[in-house]
Amino acid sequence: MPGKRRSELRQAQPERIEVVSDDKIEALRLIDGRLRWLSAWTIHNANHLRDSTDGLKVGGHQASCASMTALMAALYFHALGPNDKVAVKPHAGPVLHAIHYLLGSQSREQLENFRGFGGAQSYPSRTKDVIPVDFSTGSVGLGVAITAFASLVQDYLVAHGMMDAADTGRMVALMGDAELDEGNIYECLIEAYKHDIRNCWWIVDYNRQSLDATTAERMFCRFDEIFASCGWRVATLKYGKLMEAAFAEPGGTELKAWIDDAGNADYAALTYQGGAAWRVRLSADIGDAIAPLLAARDDDALAALMTNLAGHDMASLIEAFDAAQDDVPTLFIAYTIKGHGLPFAGHKDNHSGLMNPAQIASLRDAMGIADGQEWEALAGLGDNARTGVQALLDGCLIAKAKRPRPWGGIDVPAVASPAGDEQSTQAAFGKILLDISRAGGPLADRIVTTSPDVTVSTNLGAWVNQRGLFRRSELADVFAAAKIPSPQKWAARPAGQHIELGIAENNLFLMLAALGLAGDLFGLRLMPIGTLYDPFIARGLDALNYACYQDARFMLVATPSGVTLGPEGGAHQSINPPLIAMGQPGLRHYEPAFVDELAVMMEEGFRLMQAEDGESVYLRLTTRSIAQPERSDDGWKAGALAGGYWLREPGPDTKAALIFSGAIAPEALAAWESITDDLPGIGLLNVTSPDLLHRGWSNGLASHVTRLLAALDRDATLVTMLDGSPAALSWLGSVRGHRVSPLGLDRFGQTGSLEQLYAHYRIDEEAVLDAVAGLHL
Ligand SMILES: Cc1ncc(C[n+]2csc(CCOP(=O)(O)OP(=O)(O)O)c2C)c(N)n1
Ligand SMILES: [Mg+2]
């Protein structure tokens, strides 16, 4: 509510502030050094020492790692509590592995096999790495935003009494500064503000370099303003302790002003050039005032001073983290140098730069590591130093082993098909959810729905009326209170089970990713269902891929779809989502023609979402109301779940089959009726999942689709049709070598009645008859 102080909503946080001794800071610095070395050595080993069989460059990012080893040392060995979860900047993955190596939870073998088959992954991966990775990263920006949604999920679990407030943690993202260019960050920021998220830290490794170049200084201060206006505390960590001390010396004020005015490229270039270059430049720019300050330092000391940005200064980092111990979302902008401590520090081309053997050898010598001791975890540390470092390693609170994934556990009762001779799959979806809600029980209680401003138009309204909107604090329904009639009752409360999002489909997929990982992150599986219009899947594709890549489990209901949307026109009609689904691992596409199919698919979906060998489910639905079939038995069900079944069995020696999916079932049936006299025994195959059929076929010859099509003569012909790209079904001709005529959409849709559109796009009865005739000429 406007004006309400965030602090009034805050919950008590465990007290973590302590007086940090100099010894501890020194031990953290040593860990910083160990992480810098081990990450660089891991990458060096993969590129220069490991045998290469294919001559491909292996790669890795020594400079991006060195940029944040101090940050990560301070975080992991001082600031993180046992319930905190971290998304690590993708190209700092080797630092995370080095941390676990120091902790004993990562093996040397895995590090030696970095970027190799079965070895430590290039970018942290929840599913593939052997160490516990809270959030996968790789596509920059997404790993940052998911932490905000994860903090919302945590609040949801607490508000629903499933999780104790004392067990909550902070969701932390470690990000590169160029990630701030990704638009998804700002979409997420807006949504996060609306939901008043908390317990979230985003820590920017502000090295002012991206992949290609140094970044534009025009953005100085803008980020602070953007975040502050969305309710975030912004902590800028710019000057390290050496710098702060120097600012108090004669000439210090001028030095500080010079640092503040310096351009990013200048600062980076001077860093690369080193102490002598700093001396010449500072003298030239500042003049006599800086002379005593320069005279008091040799070139090495001057370089150390000028690169003593707070992001590399352990005392500054600890201070900043300790000062942010409440639950206010906080952006830390930590100034750093890309490649800090490495020979290419500050060089604009250092993103993928690799030290050569001579350079790594001199780094090893400088760190006091004996030749041959490179993999020794605490190499180069004397006995006293080891004691302090070991104490920090022993005191580290993060999980060292992966949390077992919660499989099963939520009973899935039989999902009944809604009654009615004429129905649409979209309306039936709404009724099924309403029935589940009314019946109550564990499944109903674990379902969380979410939608980017299309809750009503995707038929979630009745469910929301029953289960309520989720908000951490009660929000009255003003219209209901004023007795203004409306079918939607939109009161929000902590017990609500629908998370309403603004129109940003990317956020929908990140929300589903976070909800679908609730079991992994917090030990409590939720059953997320997200709805959106089918064409707008494309808007959030990378986030959808990101969710699937992490094996988040959810149900995606995309409706309406295809030109069956009629008068809504081409801008809202979807063509290629069935192809998207075929190409998306971890997501099973079902396209029901009839509502009883939808019921079994939802039931199956709830099982798949919590099965070890399961996956997420995408249901492509429609608003078109069509006549429902009379079933004589349940024989169709297994086929519908496996990807298809004969709605009309082909007769012996039949020479043709019609194959269709989804909303155009009436046209397929009408065409079948017309042809059956001329081609007796023609079959009618209802493909409920082009995706599943294709997967089965590409995995081996004894697949469901091979068996289905074995019912046809070798020289039979196929006409395939769906309200979508024809390529989703045309491949069926290759399964047993049948000739095929594929019907479907390959041009943008337009407005019109269904009759007009189906005729125009050639997915009507006449088009089928023409296609059959063409094949039989
Ligand atoms: C979505 C996406 N686009 C492009 C890339 C390729 N890429 C990887 S890192 C990077 C630049 C990162 O710069 P920054 O975030 O500042 O990280 P730094 O290495 O400087 O710490 C780019 C463009 C990517 N990983 N993800
Ligand atoms: Mg950068």
Q: What is the pLDDT of residues 97-117, one digit of tens each?
A: 999 999 999 999 999 999 999
Ligand 1 geometric centre to CA of 213 (Å): 11
Ligand showing the shortest atom-to-Cα distance for residue 545: 1
How far from chain centre, in Å, is Cα 770? 46
Cα gap 143→88, rounded to integer Å:
8
Spatial neighbors of 50 by CB under 8 A, at least 6 apart, are 58, 112, 113, 116
Q: Is 208 in the pocket of ligand 1 (CB under 6 A)?
A: no
Q: How close is the Cα of 26 to the center of ligand 2, in Å?
A: 26
pLDDT value of position 33: 98
Q: What are phi and psi of 743, to 5 degrees?
A: -110, 145
Residues 6+ apart with CB under 8 A from 253: 247
Cα separation, 144 vs 186, whole angstroms: 11
State which ligand 1 atom lies nearest to the alpha carbon of 67. 21
The answer to whether the beta carbons of residues 74 and 37 sit under 8 Å apart is no
Q: How far is the CA of 151 from the centre of ligand 1 (A)?
A: 24
Ligand 1 geometric centre to CA of 212 (Å): 9
Residue 202 has pLDDT above 60, yes or no: yes
Q: Whose CA is nearest to atom 22 of ligand 1?
A: 211
Predicted local confidence at residue 220, as pLDDT: 73
Q: Are 637 and 604 in contact (CB under 8 A)?
A: no
Ligand 2 geometric centre to CA of 578 (Å) = 38
Q: Residue 42's closest CA among 7, 92, 103?
A: 92
Ligand 1 mean position, distance from CA 696 (Å): 37
Question: Whose atoms come closest to the Cα of 506: which ligand?
Answer: 1
| pLDDT of 4 higher than 50 | no
To the nearest whole percent, how much of the chain has pLDDT over 70?
97
* pLDDT confidence of residue 8: 35
Our answer on whether the CB atom of 177 is closer than 6 Å to any ligand 1 atom is yes
pLDDT at 492: 93
Among protein residues, the one with the nearest Cα to ligand 1's atom 9 is: 211
Q: Is 59 in the pocket of ligand 1 (CB under 6 A)?
A: no
Which ligand ends up closest to the CA of 212? 1
Q: Is 685 in the pocket of ligand 1 (CB under 6 A)?
A: no
Output the average pLDDT for the chain. Answer: 95
Retrieve residue 579's tokens. 């192809």
Neighbours of 275 (CB within 10 A): 20
Among 282-296, 487-501, 527-541, whose mean pLDDT is lowest? 487-501
Give me the pLDDT at residue 16, please.
Answer: 52
Distance CA 115, CA 59 (A): 8
In the predicted structure, residue 646 carries a pLDDT above the cut 80? yes
Amino acid at 230: C
Q: Would you state the torsion angle of the CA atoms of residues 13, 15, 16, 18, taken in this order, to the nearest 10 degrees?
A: 160
Q: Is 205 in the pocket of ligand 1 (CB under 6 A)?
A: yes
Ligand 1 pocket test target in 137, 209, 211, 542 with most atoms within 8 Å of CB:
211
Q: What is the DSSP string of 273-324?
A: H-HHHHHHHHHHHHGGGGHHHHHTS-HHHHHHHHT-BGGG-HHHHHHHHHTT
Distance linking the first and last C-alpha atoms of the chain: 71
CA–CA distance, 111 with 44 (Å, rounded to integer): 11
pLDDT at residue 5 greater than cutoff 80: no
Instruction: Find out whether the beta carbon of 67 lies less than 6 Å from any atom of ligand 1.
Output: yes
Angle between helices 299-306 and 275-286 (to 10 degrees): 70
Closest ligand 1 atom, residue 208 Cα: 16
Closest Cα to atom 23 of ligand 1: 211
User: How many other β-carbons are positioned within 10 Å of the β-carbon of residue 630?
Assistant: 6
Rounded Cα distance between 577 and 532, Å, is: 12
Q: Whose CA is nearest to atom 15 of ligand 1?
A: 176
Contact 223, 183 (CB under 8 A): no
What is the Cα–Cα distance from 370 to 302, expressed in whole angstroms?
28
Q: Is 178 in the pocket of ligand 1 (CB under 6 A)?
A: yes
Ligand 2 center–CA 338 separation, angstroms: 7
Q: Establish whether residue 211 lines the binding site of ligand 1, counting it when its CB lies within 6 angstroms of any ligand atom.
A: yes
Quick one: how far is CA 468 from the chain centroid?
A: 27
Task: Tell me the C-alpha distance between 476 and 492, whole Å.
Answer: 6
SS3 627: strand
CA of 206 to the centre of ligand 1 (A): 13
Q: Is the pLDDT of residue 226 over 50?
A: yes
User: Does 179 contact ligand 1 (Cβ within 6 A)?
Assistant: yes
**Distance separating alpha carbons of residues 151 and 231, to the nearest angstrom:** 15
Residues 173 and 85: their CA atoms lie apart, in Å, by 9
pLDDT of 6 over the 50 cut? no
Residue 631 is predicted with a pLDDT of 96
**Is 314:307 a contact under the CB 8 Å cutoff?**
no
Best mutation site among 91, 203, 335 for ligand 1 pocket (most ligand atoms within 8 Å of CB):
91
| Confidence at 11, pLDDT banded by 50, 70, 90 | very low
Q: How far is CA 244 from CA 21, 124, 161, 238, 247, in A?
A: 19, 35, 47, 10, 5
CA of 185 to the centre of ligand 1 (A): 14
Residue range 28-41: mean pLDDT, rounded: 98
Ligand 1 centroid distance, CA of 770 (Å): 53
Work out the average pLDDT over 758-775: 95
What CA–CA distance (Å, rounded) separates 732 from 652? 20
- Residue 413 to residue 608: CA distance in whole angstroms: 14
The atom number, within ligand 1, closest to the CA of 64 reads 19
**Residues 499-515 pLDDT 10s:** 999 999 999 999 999 99
Tell whether ligand 1 has an atom less than 6 A from the beta carbon of residue 506: no
Residue 570, pLDDT score: 83
Tell me the CA–centroid distance for residue 107 and ligand 2, in Å: 29
Taking the CA of residue 61 as reference, the ligand 1 atom at the shortest distance is 19
SS (H, E, C) 728-751: HHHCHHHHCCCEEEEECCCCCCCC
Task: Give the number of the ligand closest to the Cα of residue 63.
Answer: 1
Asked if 274 and 349 count as a contact pair (C-beta separation under 8 A), the reply is no
For the segment 421-465, what is each residue's pLDDT rounded down to a tens digit? 999 999 999 999 999 999 999 999 999 999 999 999 999 999 999
Q: Supply φ then ψ for residue 332, to 5 degrees.
A: -100, 125
Please determine, for residue 624, whether its predicted confidence score (pLDDT) is greater than 50: yes
Nearest Cα neighbor of 197 from 168, 220, 218, 175 is: 168
Task: For residue 723, report the distance from its CA to the centre of ligand 2, in Å.
Answer: 45
Atom of ligand 1 minimally distant from the CA of 68 = 21
Using an 8 Å Cβ cutoff, are 24 and 388 in contact? yes
Task: State which amino acid sits at residue 710.
Answer: A
With a 6 Å cutoff on the Cβ, whether 604 touches ligand 1 is: no
Pocket test for ligand 1, best of 351, 354, 506, 545 (most atoms within 8 A of CB): 351
Whether 69 lines ligand 1, by a CB cut-off of 6 Å, is: no
Atom of ligand 1 nearest to the CA of 336: 21
- Residue type at 457? S
Atom of ligand 1 nearest to the CA of 63: 19
pLDDT value, residue 17: 55
Q: Using the mean position of ligand 2's atoms as its centre, give its distance from the Cα of residue 81 in Å.
A: 27
pLDDT digits (tens, 9 = 90+) for 253-286: 999 999 999 999 999 999 999 999 999 999 999 9
Span 343-356, average pLDDT: 94
Q: What is the pTM of this model?
A: 0.96
| CA distance linking residue 494 with residue 467, whole number of Å | 11
**Rounded CA separation 734/153 (Å):** 45
267 secondary structure, DSSP code: H
210 pocket-lining for ligand 1 (C-beta < 6 Å): yes
Confidence (pLDDT) at 653: 85
SS (H, E, C) 654-688: CCEEEEECHHHHHHHHHHHHHHCCCCCCCEEEEEC
- Atom number of ligand 1 nearest to Cα 542: 1
Whether the Cβ atoms of residue 589 and residue 582 lie closer than 8 Å to each other: yes
* CA 178 to ligand 2 centroid distance, Å: 5
Estimate to the nearest angstrom the gap between the alpha carbon of 329 and the chain centroid: 20
Q: Minimum-distance ligand to the CA of 176?
A: 1
Cβ 64 under 6 angstroms from ligand 1? yes
Ligand nearest to the CA of 140: 1
What spacing in Å lies between the alpha carbon of 599 and ligand 1's midpoint? Answer: 43
Q: Is residue 91 lining ligand 1, measured as CB closer than 6 Å?
A: yes
Question: What pLDDT score was predicted for residue 700?
Answer: 84
The minimum-distance atom of ligand 1 relative to the CA of 205 is 21
pLDDT tens track for 563-593: 998 888 888 899 999 999 999 999 999 999 9
Proportion of the chain above pLDDT 90, given as a percent: 90
d(CA 87, CA 124): 8
pLDDT bucket at 490, cuts 50 / 70 / 90? confident
> Hey, which of 210, 264, 271, 350 would you mutate to test ligand 1's pocket, going by the most ligand atoms within 8 Å of its Cβ?
210
**Alpha carbons 583 and 585: distance in angstroms, whole number:** 6
Residue-level pLDDT at 14? 46
Question: Closest Cα to residue 66, out of 44, 43, 37, 45?
Answer: 37
Other Cβ atoms within 10 Å of 166 Cβ, number: 10
